[in-house]
Amino acid sequence: MLDYEHARHRMVEAQISRRGVRDERVLAALRQVAREAFVDEGFEEFAYEDSPLPIGSGQTISQPFIVARMAEAAEIEPSDRVLEIGTGSGYAAAILAELASEVFTVERHRELASQAEERLHGAGYGHVTVKVDDGTKGWPEEAPFDAIVVAAGGPSVPLSLQEQLDIGGRLVIPVGDRCGEQRLLRITRVAANKFEEEDLGGVLFVPLVGAEGWIDEDDRLSPRQTRKSLPELIAGAAEDLPPIDDPAFGAKFDRFGDRRVILLGEASHGTSEFYRARAAITQRLIKRHGFTTVAVEADWPDAAYLNRHVRSLPQPAGVSLPFQRFPQWMWRNTDVTAFIAWLRGHNDGVKDASRQAGFYGLDLYNMSGSIAAVLAYLDKMDPSAAAVARERYGCLTPWQNEPATYGRVVLRSGYRACEVAVVRQCRDLLERSLSEDNGDLLDAQQSARLIASAEKYYRVMYYGGAETWNLRDRHMFETLERLLDAAGPDSKAVVWAHNSHIGDARHTDMGSVRGELTVGQLCRERYGNKAALIGFGTHSGKVACASDWDGEMEIKEVRPSVPDSVERLCHDSGKRSFLLDFTRNDAVSDALRAPRPERFIGVIYRPETERLSHYIDAAVSRQFDSFVWFDKTSPITPMAGSKGQPGKVPDTFPFGV
Ligand code: SAH
């Protein structure tokens, strides 16, 4: 049983105060109202998550932070009469009821309205009146109001609502193109015929449907005008990049040659340009700048196979071919194959083995292998628990909010029943693969460390959350440190991992709201400006991905980036491919220090729910030292013989089957 009061206080601290809501009365109201009483049955445990939740009729209960921000913006006094449009779950109405003397709330969906009314009165909010109607027309019989709060986004500010404001009254409403996000506006009636408007920032709401709103839930307008000044600033600072296979491409990154660690990101796990660019940069760093460690977001045993291959060392008897489990395409693709072949060729010419370049996996020991084992076990023992597990593993990424997954919560007890057995399986598997490993780095002590943290990880990763993520990123960082130490005091490493790992989490919602840390952040803390964090991004194109964990690889269209996102600003610069070096461009760096949506595509890509599933707020110029841009991108090509790929011929060692 969750301690809701504790969760509520933690929510107010982490999600609300830290994001800048200061009004003590609003904070007190959020600490007071039991949000779990306003979510659907079975969803209670998610009541204090930092996200909207589904509440039926295709609607959502707003994210707690948004409710707080709107309540604060409405500047409600204890004697105020307040009108709310969009009752939904009734949660925001309860918050308003804590702040005002009377609350009137209108909802167009009858079922939602009656359920909310029941909940509100059940919770003792007798001074809230609910009505079923089109709220864009307001509630003329009860007007004027001291404050009006609209919980759905319309194309413009309804005149009826403005007219029902008392003098001095505030109307808080999201307005804008609903394909993208809306702006949260505050309209203050300063005199009978005088209204002042303030823009409080970008938000995302369900549509306001009605006479002075959208025609229906699927109504659409052409995209709003995007801001021009920022794209122009970016265009001015961006350094054009030559084609990736031009040697001049890698040379653009010579400026980072004196760093101890260079972290190269990616905005998806299936984009060819990101792999090829990182290969070109890494080759240059190895050839010209003395880098000898390439450490990637991959399982240790699989990378160890490639490490032996690039050093022309024999493979131990009975070892399996690398990267045979989901998501195979991440490493078993033509771009990685070409890079591995280059690395082997390079090492062939380096006689001193200690100067050869190595290829290592940073991820928690054998993570994909362990997930595969869990799924295989559950498939046998409890297929419904296996289905839930597949979905859960798909959402191990901290930026991903998947309301659909919450819906399966009821089935979760199936996993609990198997957990002990599952963890035991993982542990056996781990011990087996460690005994097969004859790598020169892994001594007995480190094996023990791996076993300890891996077992904990198997246990917590199923349940998700910051603890899982932090355990994993800390492990990745410690492995990187060990690799650097083992290679000597002058050693230098290149890291390949997703933007979500190599960016500094303190400047994204991952860190500031969810308490998550990253390899990139730990590198900055440890190595200061001897670490370079380089993010990658794209506007549109195609990407290799899956719809669920363990699913077939698919090629999906990457949606054009949403208005006001980091990506849309880069796209609007008009440049196709560039390097944006924040350390050399103060103006652009300052302009991009305000948080705005940034896209994260992992192994799983769900374009249908893209805004919710794949964007989080980030201050890009603080998150990274530099940003590499490819406006239009293409998917990686998996090796023939990979799962779902035609052809059995082993075309290129070591990935052929
Ligand atoms: N304040 C709510 C948020 C609900 S989402 C909460 O805390 O749960 C917005 C709600 O606005 C939806 O329930 C939707 O059905 C409703 N809505 C949209 N257009 C409306 C209109 N014209 N009049 C009244 N309600 C509307």
Nearest to 463 by CA among 408, 389, 375: 389
User: DSSP readout, 560-574?
Assistant: PPPTTSHHHHHHHTT
Helices (H) and strands (E) in the chain, counts: 24, 20
Instruction: Tell me the two tokens of residue 446.
Output: 């480190």
Instruction: Tell me the two tokens of residue 92.
Output: 């925001």
- Same domain, yes or no: 199 and 232: no
Query: What per-residue confidence (pLDDT) applies to 584?
Result: 92
Amino acid at 220: R
| Lowest pLDDT segment from 292-306, 442-456, 503-517, 540-554 | 442-456
In ligand 1, the atom with minimum distance to the C-alpha of 109 is 15
- Smallest CA separation from ligand 1 atom 16, residue: 86
Instruction: Tell me the two tokens of residue 651.
Output: 């075309």
- Grade residue 225 by pLDDT with cuts at 50, 70 and 90: very low
Evaluate: CB of 439 within 6 angstroms of ligand 1: no
Give me the count of residues in the chain.
657
- Same domain, yes or no: 188 and 245: no
Nearest to 518 by CA among 477, 461, 564: 477
Q: Compute the chain's Rg from CA coordinates.
A: 27
538 C-alpha vs ligand 1 centroid, how far in Å?
34
- Same domain, yes or no: 134 and 99: yes
364 C-alpha vs ligand 1 centroid, how far in Å?
44
- Same domain, yes or no: 248 and 390: yes
Residue 20 lies in a domain: no
The pLDDT mean for the chain works out to: 86
85 C-alpha vs ligand 1 centroid, how far in Å?
6
Phi, psi (rounded to 5 degrees) for 629 = -120, 130
Evaluate: CB of 52 within 6 angstroms of ligand 1: no
628 is in which domain, residue-wise?
228-633
**Counted domains in the chain:** 2
- Same domain, yes or no: 378 and 249: yes
Residue 393 lies in a domain: yes
Instruction: Tell me the two tokens of residue 397.
Output: 């990424």
Residue 437 has pLDDT above 70, yes or no: no
Q: Name the domain boundary from 203, 237, 266.
A: 203
Average pLDDT score over residue span 560-589: 94
In ligand 1, the atom with minimum distance to the C-alpha of 89 is 8
Residues 566, 137: Cα–Cα separation, whole Å = 36
Residues 34, 7: Cα–Cα separation, whole Å = 10
Which of 107, 114, 139, 156 maximizes ligand 1 atoms within 8 Å of its Cβ, making it the mutation to test the pocket?
Answer: 107
- Same domain, yes or no: 394 and 442: yes
Report whether 181 contacts 562 (CB < 8 A).
yes
106 C-alpha vs ligand 1 centroid, how far in Å?
8
- Same domain, yes or no: 181 and 244: no
Residue 653 lies in a domain: no
- Same domain, yes or no: 195 and 300: no
CA–CA–CA angle 233, 238, 239 (5° rounding) = 155
Query: What per-residue confidence (pLDDT) applies to 405?
Result: 47
Residue 72 lies in a domain: yes
Query: What per-residue confidence (pLDDT) applies to 364?
Result: 76
Report whether 16 contacts 27 (CB < 8 A).
yes
Instruction: Tell me the two tokens of residue 571.
Output: 């796209």
State the CATH number of the domain containing residue 467: 3.40.1660.10
Instruction: Tell me the two tokens of residue 483.
Output: 């690799």
Residue 348 lies in a domain: yes
Per residue in 526-539, pLDDT tens? 999 999 999 999 99
Evaluate: CB of 91 within 6 angstroms of ligand 1: yes
59 C-alpha vs ligand 1 centroid, how far in Å?
7
Query: What per-residue confidence (pLDDT) applies to 40?
Result: 84
- Residue 413 CB partners (closer than 8 Å, separation 6+): none
Residues 201, 209: Cα–Cα separation, whole Å = 22
Q: How many CB atoms lie within 10 A of CB 14?
A: 18
Secondary structure of residue 119 in the 3-state scheme: helix
Residue 648 lies in a domain: no
Annotated catalytic sites, by residue? Answer: 62
Beta bridge partners, 531, equal 261
State the CATH number of the domain containing residue 55: 3.40.50.150
Residues 105, 135: Cα–Cα separation, whole Å = 8
Residue 14 lies in a domain: no
Dihedral angle over CA of 130, 136, 142, 145, nearest 10: 110
- Same domain, yes or no: 199 and 238: no
Residue 464 lies in a domain: yes
Which one is predicted more confidently, 369 or 75? 75
- Same domain, yes or no: 65 and 179: yes
Residues 593, 508: Cα–Cα separation, whole Å = 10
Please give the distance of CA 284 from its chain centroid, rounded to a whole number.
Answer: 31
Residues 175, 183: Cα–Cα separation, whole Å = 5
Query: What per-residue confidence (pLDDT) applies to 71?
Result: 97
- Same domain, yes or no: 103 and 251: no
Most confidently predicted of 46-50, 452-456, 598-602, 607-611: 598-602
- Grade residue 230 by pLDDT with cuts at 50, 70 and 90: confident
Instruction: Tell me the two tokens of residue 577.
Output: 């491919």
Tally the C-alpha atoms within 13 A of residue 155's C-alpha that lie toward its C-beta. Answer: 16
Evaluate: CB of 109 within 6 angstroms of ligand 1: yes
- Same domain, yes or no: 286 and 368: yes
